[in-house]
Structure 1
Amino acid sequence: MTAGQIADCILFAVEQPEGMDINHLRMRPTGQVD
């Protein structure tokens, strides 16, 4: 992942409700990159 993609992933995670599964948040950007 590029620095920009990592930043987008962090921003995406921060914007989600606290109850969200962190593993799920990590999976989504990876799927988009592939």
Structure 2
Amino acid sequence: MLIISEHKFYVQRGRICNTIIMTLCETILLCTQS
């Protein structure tokens, strides 16, 4: 059970990191285009 909950935690962290990276990339693209 502990391993499963740890895996879920890492998956959630990964999703949060991906969202932050995507937001940063979009912001950089918007700044370079304008």
How would you bin the TM-score normalised by the shorter chain?
Answer: 0.3 to 0.5
Task: Identify which of structures 1 and 2 has the higher relative contact order when contacts are C-alpha pairs closer than 8 Å and 6+ apart.
Answer: 1
Larger relative helix fraction: 2
Larger radius of gyration: 2
TM-score (ref. length: structure 2): 0.45
